[in-house]
């Protein structure tokens, strides 16, 4: 007598690995995967929300490190003032870059080397590059007027020294060699001035050896050589095609700023005797 299909189903043991439980196990695995993905997305969202704060912490943290480094030489109050002047100088570049439609990072400080910002470009053409380059010394020079005014009001040599270093910092950056701000301005005027600026910087480094000068010479040499190789390309010619009116404005700003900063350096210079 043969068993019916119903009897076989009634007495046949269920295999735990069979397809009868497959859909349920698959659903559990899918649910677990979705839960993990949601958790990861939540963490990623939190990181994105915190990203601006992390960038701010980078600026703030590097500023504190620089203040600590400069304090070993000048003391904390002067070091803090110097870093503040550096910050405002770099902030001028950031503001102008964003006005040119270029995203720029917040300044990051490097002890004994100054501060830097990162951006994908200096603008769409040499005129924009010149505006970005000059914006730093313009805002930096205005910032240096604050310690100058405090010195004139109080007679404190502390403020005089801070004004001096602010004027000197911005004047140094106007040397017409890349990647300094003066070299950026020359991109819109006459790139041939890079050669004069480079030669002057080499002479200065020869008589006054300094790691910062050597670094500028290396970076300036590499950047100048790169642009020299591209000088005949249509892209380079279009980039350096600047209207005469814009050239006149850049030249007036550069010369006027350099002259005022020279006067500022001379008037705030304080000779120190040895011993």
pLDDT at 149: 97
In-domain check, residue 181 = yes
Exposed, middle or buried, 163 (CB in 10 Å: 0-12/13-18/19+)? buried
Short-list 105, 126, 127, CA closest to 116: 105
CA dihedral sign, ordered 221, 223, 226, 231? negative
Q: How confident is the model at residue 135 (pLDDT cuts 50, 70, 90)?
A: very high
Measure the CA–CA gap between 130 and 136, rounded to whole angstroms: 11
In-domain check, residue 115 = yes
pLDDT at 94: 93
pLDDT at 73: 92
Task: Indicate the pTM of the whole model.
Answer: 0.74
pLDDT at 201: 85
pLDDT digits (tens, 9 = 90+) for 34-84: 444 444 444 444 433 444 444 556 778 888 999 999 999 999 999 999 999
Average pLDDT over residues 186-201: 86
In-domain check, residue 15 = no
In-domain check, residue 47 = no
Q: What phi and psi values does residue 171 have, to the nearest 5 degrees?
A: -70, -40
Show the domain range for 257. 78-268
Q: How confident is the model at residue 162 (pLDDT cuts 50, 70, 90)?
A: very high
pLDDT digits (tens, 9 = 90+) for 80-96: 999 999 999 999 999 99
pLDDT at 24: 54
In-domain check, residue 10 = no
In-domain check, residue 2 = no
Q: Kindly report the average pLDDT of the chain as a whole number.
A: 81
Question: Could you check whether the bond before residue 179 is cis, i.e. omega within 30 degrees of 0?
Answer: yes
Average pLDDT over residues 178-183: 92
Count: domains in the chain? 1
């Amino acid at each position: 007598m043969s068993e019916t299909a119903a009897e076989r189903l009634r007495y046949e043991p269920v295999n735990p690995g069979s397809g009868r439980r497959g859909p349920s196990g698959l659903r559990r695995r899918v649910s677990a995967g979705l839960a993990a993905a949601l958790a990861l997305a939540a963490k990623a969202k939190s990181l994105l929300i915190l990203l601006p704060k992390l960038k701010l912490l980078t600026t703030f943290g590097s500023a504190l490190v620089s203040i600590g480094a400069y304090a070993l030489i000048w003391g904390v109050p002067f070091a803090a003032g110097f870093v503040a002047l550096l910050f405002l100088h770099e902030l001028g570049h950031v503001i102008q870059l964003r006005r040119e439609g270029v995203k720029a990072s917040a300044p990051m400080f490097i002890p004994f080397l100054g501060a830097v910002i990162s951006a994908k470009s200096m603008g769409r053409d040499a005129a924009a590059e010149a505006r970005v380059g000059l914006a730093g010394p313009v805002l930096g020079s205005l910032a240096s007027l604050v310690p100058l005014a405090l010195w004139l009001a109080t007679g404190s040599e502390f403020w005089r020294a801070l004004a001096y270093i602010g004027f000197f910092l911005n004047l140094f950056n106007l040397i017409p060699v890349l990647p300094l701000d003066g070299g950026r301005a020359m991109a819109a005027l006459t790139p041939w001035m890079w050669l004069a600026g480079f030669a002057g910087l080499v002479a200065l480094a020869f008589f006054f050896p300094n790691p910062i000068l050597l670094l500028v010479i290396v970076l300036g040499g590499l950047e100048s050589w790169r642009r020299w190789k591209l000088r005949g390309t249509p892209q380079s010619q279009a980039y350096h095609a600047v209207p005469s009116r814009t050239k006149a404005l850049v030249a007036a700003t550069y010369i006027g700023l350099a002259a005022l900063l020279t006067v500022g350096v001379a008037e705030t210079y304080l000779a120190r005797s040895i011993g």
